[in-house]
C-alpha cells in the first residue's frame, strides 16, 4: 500500500460502531499530530490527569498539561476520556499521611479524596464525557477480593462507592467507569462482576466497565473475551476497551535481542487484531468505545516493560508512523 493519504481513516471506518481513541501525552499531541487527527476521535491522557501529575502537593493543582490535551481535543472535535481519579499507583505518599507523619485517618483521607475528585471533575465538567473513577481495585491473588491498597486499608471497602458518589455529584452527566486489567480472565472477571453487582445493589452511580486490553498476540482467546463481554453485558453497563495494545511477546518470554519484530509476529498480530475487531463490531450494542494505549510503535509503555531493555511493537502504526498490516486488518472489513 502506498502513502497514508490513500488510507481510510480508522474513525471513519468505525463511525457506525464506536469511537476509536488513543492515549496521548502532552508531547505526542505534537509529535503524532497527523496520525491522531486522521485516525482517532477520542483521547485519554496517559499520565497528565493522574493524581501525582495533576495534584502533586496538598492544595496545589497543576492543570497546564492536562489542559493542553483537553484543548487539543476540543479544537479538533474529539471526545475526552478522563483517566483516572482513584488508583493505588501514581498517587503521592503524602495523601495517606497526616501532618504528624502518621497514617491519615479515614475521615482525613476521605476528605482529601473528595477534594481531589471535586476539583478535577468540576474543572473538566461538560468536557470530559466519561471518567475512569476507580482503577484496578480488584486483587490479583486467588480468592482475595479487593486489592489491599492504602485507600482500602485506611478508608475501608466503601472508598469505591464514595469515589463514584463524589464524581457523580459534581458532574451528573459524565459516564462513570470502573477500569481494570486482566478483566476477561475468569479469576478476575468473577470478582469484578461481584464488585459491580454490589455497587448496583446499593444504587451507586456506575455506568461503565473499562476492560484495559493490555493483551498479547497469543492471549486471551477471542472466546474468552466474548464470554467476558456476554457476562459484563448482563450487568446492563456500557463496556469500553480502554487501553488496547497487543504485545508481540507471550507472558514469560524474556528475549531482549530483537531490534525489530519478526514477520511471524506481525502476521500473528494482524490476525489477532482482525479477529478482535470483528468481535468488537459484533458487540457494538454494548461496546461504546475502543481506545489504544498509544498511537504508533515508537512510543509505547511496553518498551522496557515488563522486561528491561526490550522493545515491543504493539500498535497499528510502525515507528515511522506508517500503517502496519495490523492497521489494514482493522480498518478494512
Ligand atoms: C495501567 C493504567 C494506565 C497505564 C498502564 C501502563 O493500565 O491504568 O494508566 O499506567 O497501566 O502504562
Between CA 20 and CA 289 the distance in angstroms is 6
Residues 6+ apart with CB under 8 A from 38: 4, 9
Numbers of helices and strands, H then E, in the chain? 12, 9
Q: Which residues pair with 80 in a beta bridge?
A: 43
CB 74 within 8 A of CB 52: no
CA-closest residue to ligand 1 atom 4: 46
In this predicted structure, what is the pLDDT of residue 79?
Answer: 98
Distance from C-alpha of 200 to C-alpha of 30, rounded to nearest angstrom: 41
Residue 190 annotated to the active site: no
Rounded distance between C-alpha atoms, residue 325 and residue 180, angstroms: 28
pLDDT attached to residue 22: 98
Mutation probe of ligand 1 site: the residue of 293, 299, 315 with most atoms within 8 A of C-beta: 293
CA-CA distance, 95 to 50, in Å (whole number)? Answer: 13
pLDDT per residue, tens digit, the chain (333 aa), is 444 446 899 999 999 999 999 999 999 999 999 999 999 999 999 999 999 999 999 999 999 999 999 999 999 999 999 999 999 999 999 999 999 999 999 999 999 999 999 999 999 999 999 999 999 999 999 889 999 999 999 999 999 999 999 999 999 999 999 999 999 999 999 999 999 999 999 999 999 999 999 999 999 999 999 999 999 999 999 999 999 999 999 999 999 999 999 999 999 999 999 999 999 999 999 999 999 999 999 999 999 999 999 999 999 999 999 999 999 999 999
C-alpha grid cell for residue 35?
496520525
Gap between the Cα atoms of 324 and 146, Å rounded: 39
For 142, other C-beta atoms within 10 Å of its C-beta total 6
Q: Is the CB of 181 under 6 A from ligand 1?
A: yes
Residue of the CA atom closest to atom 12 of ligand 1: 301
List the grid coordinates of 223.
Answer: 472466546
Going by C-alpha positions, the residue among 15, 59, 30 that lies closest to residue 295 is 30
Q: Is 182 in the pocket of ligand 1 (CB under 6 A)?
A: no
Hey, which of 211, 243, 314 would you mutate to test ligand 1's pocket, going by the most ligand atoms within 8 Å of its Cβ?
243
- Whose cell is 470502573? That residue is 178
Q: How confident is the model at residue 7, as a pLDDT?
A: 83
Q: Cα separation of 220 and 225, whole Å? A: 7
The catalytic residue among 48, 165, 243, 325 is: 243
Ligand 1 neighbourhood includes 48 CB (under 6 angstroms): no
Count CB-CB contacts under 10 A for residue 152: 18
Only one residue has cell 471518567, namely 131
Q: Which of 106, 42, 33 is nearest to 290 (CA)?
A: 42
61's CB contacts (< 8 A; 6+ apart) are 54, 55, 119, 120, 123
DSSP state of 223: H
CA of 2 to the centre of ligand 1 (A): 34
On whether the CB atoms of residues 276 and 217 are closer than 8 A, the answer is no
Q: How far is the CA of 89 from the centre of ligand 1 (A)?
A: 9
pLDDT tens digits, one per residue of 133-190: 999 999 999 889 999 999 999 999 999 999 999 999 999 999 999 999 999 999 999 9
Set 58, 71, 93, 136: catalytic member = 136
Q: Tell me the three cell numbers of residue 79.
A: 471526545
Q: How far apart are CA 259 and CA 276, in angstroms?
A: 27
Q: pLDDT at position 1, please? A: 43
Q: Is 301 in the pocket of ligand 1 (CB under 6 A)?
A: yes
Amino acid at each position: 500500500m502506498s502513502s497514508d493519504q490513500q488510507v481510510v481513516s480508522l474513525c471513519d471506518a468505525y463511525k457506525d460502531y464506536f469511537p476509536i481513541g488513543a492515549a496521548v501525552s502532552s508531547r505526542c499531541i505534537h509529535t503524532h499530530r497527523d496520525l491522531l487527527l486522521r485516525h482517532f476521535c477520542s483521547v485519554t491522557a496517559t499520565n497528565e490527569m493522574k493524581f501525582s501529575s495533576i495534584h502533586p502537593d496538598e492544595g496545589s493543582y497543576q492543570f497546564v498539561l492536562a489542559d493542553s490535551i483537553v484543548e487539543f481535543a476540543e479544537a479538533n472535535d474529539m471526545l475526552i476520556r478522563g483517566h483516572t481519579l482513584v488508583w493505588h499507583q501514581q498517587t503521592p505518599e503524602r495523601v495517606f499521611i497526616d501532618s504528624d507523619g502518621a497514617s491519615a485517618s479515614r475521615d482525613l483521607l476521605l476528605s482529601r479524596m473528595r477534594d481531589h475528585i471535586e476539583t478535577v471533575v468540576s474543572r473538566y465538567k461538560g468536557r470530559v464525557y466519561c471518567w475512569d473513577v476507580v482503577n484496578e481495585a480488584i486483587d490479583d491473588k486467588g480468592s482475595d477480593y479487593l486489592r489491599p491498597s492504602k485507600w482500602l486499608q485506611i478508608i475501608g471497602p466503601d472508598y469505591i462507592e464514595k469515589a463514584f458518589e463524589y464524581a457523580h455529584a459534581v458532574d451528573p452527566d459524565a459516564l462513570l467507569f470502573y477500569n481494570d486489567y486482566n478483566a476477561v480472565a475468569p479469576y478476575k472477571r468473577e470478582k469484578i462482576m461481584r464488585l459491580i453487582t454490589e455497587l448496583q445493589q446499593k444504587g451507586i452511580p456506575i455506568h461503565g466497565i473499562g476492560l484495559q486490553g493490555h493483551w498479547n498476540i497469543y492471549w486471551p482467546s477471542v472466546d474468552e473475551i466474548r464470554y467476558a463481554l456476554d457476562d459484563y453485558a448482563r450487568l446492563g453497563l456500557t463496556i469500553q476497551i480502554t487501553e488496547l495494545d497487543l504485545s508481540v511477546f507471550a507472558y514469560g518470554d524474556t528475549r531482549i535481542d530483537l531490534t525489530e519484530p519478526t514477520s511471524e509476529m506481525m502476521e500473528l498480530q494482524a490476525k489477532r487484531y482482525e479477529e478482535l475487531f470483528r468481535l468488537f463490531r459484533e458487540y457494538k450494542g454494548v461496546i461504546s468505545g475502543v481506545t489504544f494505549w498509544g498511537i504508533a510503535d515508537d512510543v509505547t509503555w511496553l518498551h522496557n516493560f515488563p522486561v528491561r531493555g526490550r522493545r515491543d511493537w504493539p500498535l497499528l502504526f510502525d515507528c515511522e508512523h506508517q500503517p502496519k498490516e495490523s492497521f489494514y486488518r482493522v480498518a478494512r472489513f
